[in-house]
Amino acid sequence: MSETVTEEGVAAWLRAFAVAVAQNREYLTELDAAIGDADHGFNMDRGMQAVVGRLDGPSAGGGGVGALLKLVGMTLVSTVGGAAGPLYGTFFLQMGKDAGGEPELGVAQWAAALESGVRGVQMRGKAELEDKTMVDTLAPAAQALSAAAASGLSLVDALQRAAEAAEQGMKATIPLVARKGRASYLGERSVGHQDPGATSSWLLMQAAADALASAASPSDPGA
């Protein structure tokens, strides 16, 4: 029996991410202090607390997975400062657009939505792999999730593969020279530092593995 991602599962994922960001706010800020504006942790925490507030409000839920993701995207765009707001906002908005009005998504559908989100980030930030950005975490995660879905793995296993790929991508930013964002101004001096956006993106993928899988809904075997 396969599993699906529901609105409830997405909400659980976002709440778990908000907790992870709050717990790692100072760490994310320290990473950003080395090569950026020293505000990534604060900005992401503020944005995710706003997301949780929207999840608790009357406008959340009932419109399908896509509508919920779009709500998150719009909230982040309006509340997160710096580059992270537009980038994370675009990520969720594009995921939501791909997900549409479906009440639940299978593994392959969820992988396709994640890929759409990553493409949105790349287009918005004009970033590619090895530019030392959140793309270095999100792109491998999306690729791993799609490969796992194509192999017929369960949602739990697919999400874990994605989280593992995200962690590897995050760590791979340490030796890179930043080519995008404020960190790019440092040139070679950005080498040896882990990218803060890649780090928060890993927290996002790990939260999915932890929360989405446990909230997954068994699909109708006769459907």
Residue 81: predicted pLDDT? 79
Residue 201 makes CB contacts below 8 A (sequence gap 6+) with 134, 137, 138, 141, 166, 170
Q: Delimit the domains of the chain by residue range.
A: 3-216
Torsion angles phi and psi, residue 178, rounded to 5: -65, 135
Residue 70: predicted pLDDT? 96
Mean predicted lDDT score pLDDT of the chain: 92
| Residue pLDDT, tens place only, 43-95 | 999 999 999 999 988 767 678 999 999 999 999 999 997 889 999 999 999 99
Give dist(CA 119, CA 63) in Å, integer. Answer: 24
Residue 146: predicted pLDDT? 97
**Position 217 pLDDT exceeds 70:** no
Strands 3-6 and 217-218: antiparallel
Beta carbons of 132 and 178 less than 8 angstroms apart = yes
Which pLDDT band holds residue 25 (cuts at 50, 70, 90)? very high
Angle at 168 between CA 166 and CA 174, to 5 degrees: 110
CATH homologous superfamily, domain 3-216: DhaL domain (1.25.40.340)
**Position 1 pLDDT exceeds 60:** no
